[in-house]
Structure 1
Amino acid sequence: MKKILSLLLAVMMMVTVLAACGGGNSGSGDAGNGAAAVDTNTVAVGAVVIARDDVPEDDIYAFVSTIFENKDAITEQHAKGGELDLDFASSVTSVPYHPGAAKYFAEKGKDVASVKDGAGTGSSKALTFGTGGESGTYYGFGGVLSSYVSNNTGVSVTAVTSGGSKANIEDLAAGDVQLAFVQSDVMSYGYNGERLFDSKVDNFSVVAALYMEQVQIVTTNPDIKSVADLAGKSVSIGDRGSGVWFNAVDVLGAYGIDPDTGISPVYQGFSDSADSLKDGKIDAAFVVAGAPTTAIVDLATAKPVYLVSLDEEHTSNLLAASPYYSAYTIPAGTY
């Protein structure tokens, strides 16, 4: 009997010790929810598909109509399909629309702001679609769109990886691609020869605005709760001169933080930024892409991630200075 009591006492003591140490839990506790626990207030730009002016009207009509007439089927393959909306798609004002796209939207009762004169008269051929990096939304969603259009129309579209918005505009101008994903702000810079571009690149027109791209400030440090907390920290702000870099410059500037001296800047793309966060090499990273973004989703499986919100006052100041942004809330549960 004494042996049995001693054994029971030993078991009870071990259970107590394990409970104090967290037992068999992973140790992450509620922190594993990270950014999923709360809404995140930020700003966003549009993700827009553009085309060379010499792509035939019929080809662009087939591309746009196939996407919007098969929204449910596309959404089954990629969540961004659920954000396709005719009003948003036809809402771009800074660059004229391709005639093929304008024709489809007019059939749906949506008048675009302007249509590119002389566009849509080239010869039909296989189309190459410049997207983005392998871990970004551009490539994932662009691949789905390309495959669906190719499999359901007489138009062949192939999605390829690229260096992002600026590179896509340059590749499109050079004739290396015929379709491209771009941020709406970078598209405007290129068309008007501003910021990222030394001269105008205007041999393209709009196909459709597809969804909003959120400026996501990602960290694995729960003590970084506001943009102001980034001061003095190591922060990835995209490749210098990229669209992400200008977004970071705009957001940091709204808080009075110089991107060269107010932080320790690191110039990395989405995947490298996620790896650096995972390895503890940087404190935070700017990622501009449709949420949920693959690179952040993958990071969140390894450790808790948090998204940094912009407060209302600084958001208002940013929107006043840069009207191509829109206020946006990333809902809890996105990651």
Structure 2
Amino acid sequence: MKRKNFILSLVFMLTLSLVLAACGGKDDAGESKDSGDKGGKKQFLNLVTGGTGGTYYPLGGSFANIITENTNAEATAQSSGASAENMESIKTGDADIAFTQTDIASYATEGKLMFEGKKVTNVKALASLYPETVQIVTTAKSGIKSVEDLKGKSVSVGAPGSGTYANAEQILEIHGMTMKDIKAQNLSFDESTGGIQDGTIDAAFITAGTPTGAVEGLAATTDVVIVPIAEDKIDALIEKYPYYAKDEVPAGTYKIKEPVKTVAVQAMLVVRDDLEEDLVYDITKAIFENLDKVTHAKGKIIKVENALNGVGIDVHPGAQKYFDEKGVKK
């Protein structure tokens, strides 16, 4: 009997040891990973970008990698409906970091236009990045040479409530037109260029950094035309909507022979306002000090000295701390 009890006790102790070891292993593997010299647990962050045919998506992938490799956080980039949808995702807590346009961020925090009655109050700016060029894309065979020529044509204007939609609406307005003057189609960038290629639409508004992947794909098989905006109309647009700036699509982009005058807003990153100051400082520092790891061409024009350009909402204290160190001012 004593021997039997001894064996049972031994089996119990061995079993308990294995259970404890398994629990310990689960803690090590199941808990967030340490961040190297910073110590502590990894925080998981959702970074929302835009459609796969735009500029936000590839940039977001690079930024997520930089954040994961250089901070005490692990970021995952996710495609989305871009600016307006991203602000909604910040509001609901489904996103921690988001790409948006400076004009859309202002609409959201002020509760205007597509955000009327649904103001976003939990968002702060991280940084302005680069100009988002309004590109009115068509083909040589369409015969469209001016904004006025869009009248009666089938034109993609982006999703209702998107930044692109707002840009299209305002540019048409300055030309004495409304959405009723065109056959408006609510398509993504990829769908827009696909529609132009197969002839189901005539033109598309695409607001994104140049070169835009979807338009590059179209230019590979089609003679792309970027419709210019006349100088006086640009001036009138900026006077009414000051967040626009003069811009141009450079010669050589999409194989065009001459630069094309247009306008731009700024692309920016925003964050939830409840992210810790130290974390946002680390994220801001990581991005601006590792821009050489950004594979998209836009990485070359993102500069810390321009990080507060066009920012119309409050800057997160963590990001502001980094900009203060670098002497960056609005």
AA in 2 matched with 1:145: F
AA in 1 matched with 2:65: S
Quote the residue 2:145 is aligned against.
225
Distance 1:163 1:224 in 2: 28
For residue 209 of structure 1, the aligned residue among 128, 137, 143 is 128
Distance 2:174 2:198 in 1: 29
Q: CA deviation at 1:124?
A: 6.8
Which aligned pairs between 1:70-149 and structure 2 lie closer than 5 A?
125-149=43-67
C-alpha contact 1:192 1:199 (8 A) present in aligned 2: no
* Deviation larger for 288-297 or 227-236: 227-236
Quote the residue 1:20 is aligned against.
none
C-alpha contact 2:42 2:72 (8 A) present in aligned 1: no
Quote the residue 2:163 is aligned against.
243
Distance 1:189 1:153 in 2: 31
Quote the residue 1:306 is aligned against.
225
Q: CA deviation at 1:319?
A: 0.6
Q: Equivalent pairs: percent with the same residue? A: 42
For residue 68 of structure 2, the aligned residue among 111, 132, 150 is 150
For residue 330 of structure 1, the aligned residue among 249, 256, 267 is 249
Q: CA deviation at 1:151?
A: 2.0
Quote the residue 1:88 is aligned against.
none
Q: CA deviation at 1:263?
A: 1.1
Q: Deviations over 1:271-314 (max 9, x none)?
A: 11011001011110000000100000011112111100101111
Quote the residue 2:79 is aligned against.
161
Q: CA deviation at 1:221?
A: 3.3
For residue 99 of structure 2, the aligned residue among 169, 176, 181 is 181
Distance 1:277 1:206 in 2: 35
Distance 1:133 1:195 in 2: 22
Distance 1:199 1:160 in 2: 23
Q: Deviations over 1:42-67 (max 9, x none)?
A: xxxxxxxxxxxxxxxxx9xx9xxxxx
Name stretches of at least 5 consecutive residues in structure 2 with no aligned partner. Answer: 1-34, 255-330
C-alpha contact 1:221 1:283 (8 A) present in aligned 2: no
Quote the residue 1:8 is aligned against.
none
Distance 2:230 2:207 in 1: 18
Matched, 1:199 2:154: no
Distance 2:241 2:149 in 1: 23
Distance 2:140 2:174 in 1: 22
Q: CA deviation at 1:211?
A: 0.7
Distance 2:88 2:184 in 1: 26
Q: CA deviation at 1:333?
A: 0.9
Distance 2:231 2:89 in 1: 38
Distance 1:210 1:314 in 2: 26
1:297 partner SS: helix
Name stretches of at least 5 consecutive residues in structure 1 with no aligned partner. Answer: 1-58, 63-122
Matched, 1:171 2:85: no
Q: Deviations over 1:124-176 (max 9, x none)?
A: 72111010111111011110111122123332111101111111111111111
1:151 partner SS: helix
Q: Deviations over 1:73-111 (max 9, x none)?
A: xxxxxxxxxxxxxxxxxxxxxxxxxxxxxxxxxxxxxxx
AA in 1 matched with 2:43: K
TM-score (norm 1): 0.62
Distance 1:171 1:231 in 2: 35
Q: Deviations over 1:251-286 (max 9, x none)?
A: 1111111212x1111111101101100101111000
TM-score (norm 2): 0.63
1:239 partner SS: coil
* Deviation larger for 231-240 or 270-279: 231-240
C-alpha contact 1:133 1:164 (8 A) present in aligned 2: yes
Deviating beyond 3 angstroms after TM superposition, the runs of 4 or more aligned structure 1 residues are none
Structure possessing the higher radius of gyration over alpha carbons? 2
Quote the residue 1:269 is aligned against.
188
C-alpha contact 1:213 1:289 (8 A) present in aligned 2: yes
Count how many residue pairs are aligned between Structure 1 and Structure 2.
Answer: 214
Please, what is the CA RMSD of the aligned residues? 1.7
